[in-house]
Amino acid sequence: MENEQFIHQILEILKKEISQIKDIDSLLDRILFEARKFTASDAGSLFLVEGTKLKFSYVQNDSLFKDLTFNKHLYSSQEMEIDDKSIAGYVALTGQTLQIEDVYDLGPDEPYSFNSTYDLASSYRTRSMLVVPLRTGENKIVGVIQLINTLQSDQTPGIYSQQHRLMAELFADQAAIAIERAKMTRAIILRMIKMAELRDPKETGAHVNRVGAYSIEIYHQWARTRNIPEKDIKYFLDTLRIAAMLHDVGKVAISDTILKKPGKLTQEEYELMKWHTVAGHELFRDPTSDLDSMAADIALTHHEKWDGTGYPGHIKQDKENPGAASQGKKGERIPLAGRIVALADVYDALISKRCYKDAWPEEKVLSHIQEQSGFHFDPSLVEAFFSIYEVIKAIRDKYADPETG
């Protein structure tokens, strides 16, 4: 069967490509995009199994999301039970593919029903669906891909074919394996961050997640106003999120008395604290991957300032007196990734409560960032930050600090 051979060739290529993606969110984005492409689907969502729940992890919709601010939907964290009541839940529970002609016209014997909340909220009309389980080699179901409204060549909605189904199922098997692998990479990195956290209780996992997410959104907006090819953007984003999450791991090298000090640091203590940039850079020296070299750049330069008054500058490795060692780097001499994390990190530090400071009111934070444009921060990044501020706020809500006490 020539057709089948062709399908396998395409899948081989896709398998190679997706197996190189390290960041789980970039991976989900790509999996959903490719599955939609070969099934000509107007929309789709991806759900991941987390514990006993199915989590709404990614959504794409060509008809609805032409408007940029819809990115915030990426961060809506909805979940449903893994049971036969919802369409996606049914597929996760039974491992069976569903191929539906019209979700508003389900057979009377089906246990599941269509949840029309999103259609009602957006005046989108969901019709046909192809819903496949993401199953690993060990027969474990890690999630569900839900493809919506396949379009015919005249762009009107049609129904999914047997060939769509075959391809989607084969692709889903590869995708599930890549997802397992990306989850493992993420788990290892999270352990690294945890180690840093154990040393420094005020750096929370939530802070790290927020800085990673703010950073990629600032970059994405900045890049799209600059005619950077989408392929390069995606590649940078994939590396940036993880590297940004690692910005402060160098704090493992700072002594407890300084790290855990509840009040203000003395000048002398502050000078030693500055060493965390150089220490973080050391951890990723001799880079073997783009991720390592970006992580090294960010660790080293996330406290540099656009006007050259930041630290540590051009490092002389003088642990006793790192801040005074030399002048800060300036402007575009500071790597882009470092400039981005500088903004994301300070925004998050000011808007949150820390053991040494209260949270600032939002207006004060925003006017500080505006005032520091061209001084602390790269003005073009400040501009990008404000133009996607809705997305920034959605991230803040998604990764809110856990309630304490």
> Interface residues with Fe ion (CB under 5 A)?
248, 345
147 binding partner (options Fe ion, ligand SIN, ligand C2E, none; Cβ < 5 to 8 Å by kind):
none
* DSSP H/E element including 294: helix 290-301
Tell me how far, at minimum, the Cβ of 250 lies from Fe ion, in Å: 8
Q: Is 2 exposed, middle or buried (0-12, 13-18, 19+ CB in 10 A)?
A: exposed
DSSP label at residue 86: B
Near ligand SIN by CB under 6 A: residue from 38, 70, 75, 114: 114
* DSSP H/E element including 142: strand 141-150
The alpha carbon of residue 375 and the mean position of all alpha carbons in its chain are separated, in whole angstroms, by 28
Interatomic CA distance for residues 288 and 292, integer angstroms: 6
**What is the contact mask toward ligand SIN in residues 22 to 51, using x (rule: CB under 6 A)?**
---xx--x---------------x------
Closer CB to ligand SIN, 77 or 266, in the complex: 77
Near ligand SIN by CB under 6 A: residue from 216, 299, 334, 343: 216
**What is the contact mask toward ligand SIN in residues 73 to 112, using x (rule: CB under 6 A)?**
-x-----------xxx------------------------
Options 251, 274, 305, 329, the catalytic residue: 251
Cα Rg of the chain (Å, integer): 23
Told to judge if 22 belongs to the known catalytic residues of this protein, a careful annotator would answer no
DSSP codes joined into one string, 155-204 = SSB----HHHHHHHHHHHHHHHHHHHHHHHHHHHHHHHHHHHHHH-TTS-
185 binding partner (options ligand SIN, ligand C2E, Fe ion, none; Cβ < 5 to 8 Å by kind):
none
Tell me how far, at minimum, the Cβ of 86 lies from ligand SIN, in Å: 4
**Sites for ligand SIN among residues 219-248 (CB under 6 A):** 220, 237
346 binding partner (options ligand SIN, ligand C2E, Fe ion, none; Cβ < 5 to 8 Å by kind):
ligand C2E
Residue written as token pair 């502050």: 270
Residue written as token pair 């008395």: 257
What positions carry a catalytic annotation? Answer: 251
